[in-house]
Chains A and B, each alone.
Chain A
């Protein structure tokens, strides 16, 4: 049983405790044969045991980024926390603690074994991300709820489950309920589940299970469509034409347009409206399609570029590696000769080797310089081409946007005309009763109505401008980011790395002979 924590002083996870824990896990007498490293590297530790230590809070564990197994049983932990960085964890033991709620496990996607035995948990929840869960021990807790069992249905890999010692487990139909609702589980409460009782149980709960399955399927479908939509949206976004496949822009134009919404209630505006909508949508849709097409072209271009760049890099690397290999065979024959003589390196040999090394270095450097030149040129061409594409895209889109604006102007003119006519008619006393009150206010005189029309026009124009600006700024951003990245990675960083590698190699090979 979990102990009461006021009986003993709780402890804090400190550096010395961790060090002690790591070292104690190693074999006895090891320190005698292996000199200690200056500093313990926590990120290399895979297994950590922190049991029976009266720990109250889970903290200071973020250094163990490669931890796969963590044992913290028999402490007085009350909250699961501080596990977000331990993403490689597959085994977590938190049994015999004072945990009341399942939480803080969201980042442990690799977890297969989880023990929460003997805690104070009432509901099984917040475990959706543990897709690989295989063994789950939740015995001796306060679970008293069918829904918690149903919740476990989502773990397809769950094979072993312990529920013993919960209030729910003492109910009469606990066993058959569990085995019928969790067909993936093979072992329940340390016992293998036989097929025959399971079949019986399944029959008993057939109707409920059917309903459950239908619900789950619906959910899954929903999820899937949601995913698809998100994917689609992402695609559109990458093509810079998101929200342009339907009438979103048109709706947006009128959404924030208070005046406009009133204006379109003017009799006779229906026709104008539909016309406007149709034309507007046609233009927007053509822009949308054009955008997708352009994206495809750009993608192909980028793919082409990368294929060629990688080819060139691989070819170059291959050549360089061949040169290095050749040198190594040369070296081994050289030293083999040396071995025969059974004496130190003669100065002639050393100088020969030194010359060969210089030669090797020159060759490798020459190769690298060639590659740098080649890549530079290719990247330049690529940049030019891509910039051209982007500007084409922008030009074409700009033309479309101006069309939209014209359309808006035309629409506005028509509306003004209509409104003026309407005002005149109202003045004359016709059309008395067909207006809602707030609309009628606008039509009291000509100036008001003109103002309203202008405001509406303004709103619409702003919307269009906004969309245009957004599109253009994003595409130019995209281009600069990508090109900067390419320059940075392919020209600068790659080159640096290679040069360092060459000098490392030369140094290493030279040290070789100096040792002798």
Chain B
């Protein structure tokens, strides 16, 4: 065997030997001339005892604190399953391998720090780190993507620091406990995230290494706010400079080149000055933001996750900082070194120089010069080809300098025992809660981010980003809130504290189809409302209201109206509360229309100004593409226009027309006259519309206030946990079912019970007793029917008696009776007759049913097992 390390080991030359070795049941085999500087676990499950003593170089060197006393870190270890509390045989074996590996590693690399191999679990049992990873795929589609999964883990847990910061932790909790407690240190985070990522099909590894203080402390206050609004990238309008064959020559440029040059120079100077200032400012900011020097720089232990390319279309290797859920490049300066990486199958030790941090590290784990693996597999994970199927050199390790021949053992693959951790589970409830106690707060540079689980807050808030002007989070400047499931469909509210402006964004589904609402507080009120114009019947897309103006913008209207602006007179300044009821007088209303292609440009109105105060209409038509001026037409309202009693007399002075072209059609006087009448009518209509728009904005204000107060959350009909209605409904169903059951029980009432009770509920009875019981039951039933019939009969008779006496009384007093009394009497008679009829019917029915019921009873008695052999009653 030439090279015991790596997947190529079982090549053809040694394949035979290896099989031979296996057959010979552990005959020692010395490996000669191992050139590799690598070391290796050289153990087989059968032979380690033999091997160890045979290698004097590998004498165990046991440090006093190598196996610290078991440290149980959970309150109730006995509640844990056995795999948590004990090591199986296989695990023990693996632990021995690992111990061997560790010793060799320690021996060869005395100056390197120990690596995390067998920390204690929460029950104080040492467990190999690889077996602590439990690849799991959970039933949440969100966890299937690495970025969402990492974010979830970062949100779901509370972070705890390592203590001390420069040493590996003694314990590593199982991911199940981490999930249950919702807290953990960086190793717990990485371990859990790695379990999920491997479960989701990623090629993920836990990395144990070193990082800066900021990373270790999960200090994000120097990172820019991830929720900062992306600034609109101004798209440069690319004017295609197509030079066509017949493009006309541009007109001569007669401006002075010298002037332009001087102007440009001045602009350049200003720009340079600006740049300089900006640079200085940047420097100053960088100075402020620079972290303080860290005495423990470079030795702070940290753990995170490495994702290698190859699976799930990952193009290149990258890190995931599991504590924040952010992806990082593999050359991120925050990471200062790597000791080892592992997944659920193997562990690799980094043999590369980390003096430059992780910048130059290569992540080809098959590269034995750079990564030293713990186990080899014949069917290698990293995709190397092997020829032998079930053999491999979990080869003996040689110290390079010594060149000592080591024992090459023949063995099967080292098979890692299945993870001792139970399958991970997150309940949907916990998943929805997402954060510990349904909320979590993060700090970024000048930003505080508060996250809430849906439905956890009464106003439906799920995210609140507060931006500050300073680094100490004192001076609030901007707040962004995100809401979910609100009845008023409010999704985002932004509050600019400095200008006191509020911007709100709504989801579709409001009755007024509001989409965005921007408003400020204070006297200088200005509000912009943007609507879902497709949902609105009037096609309103935007409304802009200031003190003296109300402007509407429309889209896609049949009448081509695009814009309407009303200008109001300033309200006379008054003290006291402004009374909103009086309407502001309108100075003018301007409407603009789009081009209606079915009309000539010259007949198609573009702008129509109702100058209400000046008693004028100004119409501007669309400009024809061949003309440079649009036609205009102005009407003055005649003096008596408002008086309905007078007919308006046409007068040439009432209108003034400018036509861009002589050839355009001239309107006849008649048309002009009717046009004016029409405009006067239209004006009224338009004023009404403006008033309506005003009312609408006022309504909106009050409605918003109401909605703010009653902030119930909407619950989906599919959400059975929260939907009270469905809960009530289900309860009702349950109740109904219960009632049904009870009824059935009542129906099956035991007719023998009273008689059995009468004889003291014996366990058994004899024939005579049975006979007696039967008779008693029959007799009882008969008695009861007769009693019932008698009762009815008696009532019937008494009713008749009463009727008769009434009739007699009537006949006596018939004369001299008032009409009302007579009517009263008749009514009473009718009622009595009705009652009689009912009683008669009931009696008849009783007679019919009694025999039938009797037969039923007899049948039941005949079939009752208690009245038959062996007469067991109870």
Interface residues of A (CB under 8 A from B): 26, 29-30, 32-35, 37, 41, 44, 301, 304-305, 307-309, 311-314, 317, 320-321, 323-324, 364, 370, 374-375, 377-378, 381-382, 494, 497-498, 500-502, 504-505, 508
Contacts and interface: CB of A to CB of B under 8 A. Distances in A.
Nearest to B671: A44
B248 A378 contact: yes
Nearest to A319: B628
A444 to B, nearest CB: 66
Contacts of B802: none
Nearest to B652: A35
Given A37-B668, A321-B628, A498-B628, A374 B249 contact: yes
Contacts of B660: 501, 504-505
Interface string B238-258: 000000111111010000000
Interface stretch (B75-83, B201-209, B592-600, B643-651): B643-651
A317 B627 contact: yes
A5 B251 CA distance: 75
A411 B668 CA distance: 75
B613 to A, nearest CB: 11
Contact of B625 (A317, A364, A377): A317
A153 B640 CA distance: 59
13 contacts: A30-B670, A33-B648, A35-B650, A41-B668, A301-B245, A304-B244, A324-B628, A377-B248, A378-B246, A381-B246, A497-B626, A498-B628, A500-B662
Contacts of B854: none
Contacts of B553: none
Contacts of A305: 245-246
A508 B246 contact: no
Contacts of B670: 26, 30, 34, 37
B669 interface: yes
A307 B628 CA distance: 20
Nearest to A308: B246
Contacts of A34: 650, 669-670, 673
B623 interface: yes
A501 B627 contact: yes
A277 B626 CA distance: 55
Interface in B605-637: 623, 625-629
B347 to A, nearest CB: 71
B662 A370 contact: no
A410 to B, nearest CB: 44
Contacts of B673: 33-34
B751 interface: no
Given A370-B251, A501-B628, A33 B246 contact: no
B658 interface: yes
A29 B648 CA distance: 12
Nearest to B623: A321
A2 B376 CA distance: 114
Interface string B660-692: 111000001110010000000000000000000
A504 B662 contact: yes
A374 B248 contact: yes
Contact of A308 (B248, B251, B627, B649): B248
A508 B244 CA distance: 39
Given A33-B648, A37-B669, A498-B628, 8 more contacts: A32-B647, A33-B649, A304-B244, A317-B626, A374-B251, A377-B249, A504-B660, A504-B662
B760 to A, nearest CB: 83
B611 to A, nearest CB: 12
Contacts of A378: 246, 248
B244 A320 contact: no
Contacts, number: 85
Contact of B628 (A29, A33, A44, A364): A364
Per DSSP, are chain B's interface residues mostly helix, strand or loop, or mixed?
Answer: loop
A381 B669 CA distance: 49
Nearest to A40: B668
A320 B628 contact: yes
Nearest to A32: B647
A33 B650 contact: yes
A508 B661 CA distance: 12
Contacts of A32: 647
Nearest to A515: B656
A501 B602 CA distance: 14
Contacts of B625: 314, 317
A375 B248 contact: yes
A33 B244 contact: no
A496 to B, nearest CB: 11
Given A33-B650, A317-B626, A382 B661 contact: no
Contacts of A364: 628
Nearest to B658: A508
A224 B784 CA distance: 99
Contact of B244 (A30, A41, A308): A308
Contact of B245 (A30, A308, A497): A308
B244 A307 contact: yes
Nearest to A309: B246
B808 to A, nearest CB: 72
Contact of A304 (B246, B251, B648, B658): B246
A497 B246 contact: no
Give the 10 A-B residue pairs with the shortest CB-CB distance, closest first: A308-B246, A374-B248, A320-B628, A312-B248, A34-B650, A370-B251, A508-B658, A305-B246, A321-B628, A34-B673
A364 B650 CA distance: 37
Given A311-B247, A317-B627, A375-B248, A501 B668 contact: no
Contacts of A494: 626
A323 B628 CA distance: 9
A508 B629 CA distance: 12
A187 to B, nearest CB: 29
A37 B673 CA distance: 12
B717 to A, nearest CB: 41
Contacts of B627: 317, 501
Contacts of B623: 321
A359 B627 CA distance: 19
B731 to A, nearest CB: 52
B248 A321 contact: no
Nearest to A512: B656
A316 to B, nearest CB: 9
A256 B650 CA distance: 76
Contacts of A505: 628-629, 658, 660
Contacts of B649: 33
A321 B626 CA distance: 10
B450 to A, nearest CB: 51
A308 B243 CA distance: 10
B246 A501 contact: no
A324 B629 CA distance: 7
Nearest to B252: A370
A382 B245 CA distance: 9
Nearest to B660: A501
Interface string B797-820: 000000000000000000000000
B141 to A, nearest CB: 52
A332 B661 CA distance: 23
A317 B247 CA distance: 16
A311 to B, nearest CB: 7
A320 B668 CA distance: 30
Given A35-B669, A44-B668, A370-B251, A501 B245 contact: no
Contacts of A313: 626
Contacts of B647: 29, 32-33
A314 B628 CA distance: 10
A322 to B, nearest CB: 9
A301 B246 CA distance: 9
Of the listed residues B244, B247, B628, B662, the one surrounded by the most CB atoms of chain A closer than 10 A to its CB is B628
Nearest to A370: B251
B661 A501 contact: yes
A285 B478 CA distance: 79
B636 to A, nearest CB: 13
Contacts of A312: 247-248
A314 B625 CA distance: 7
Contacts of B251: 370, 374
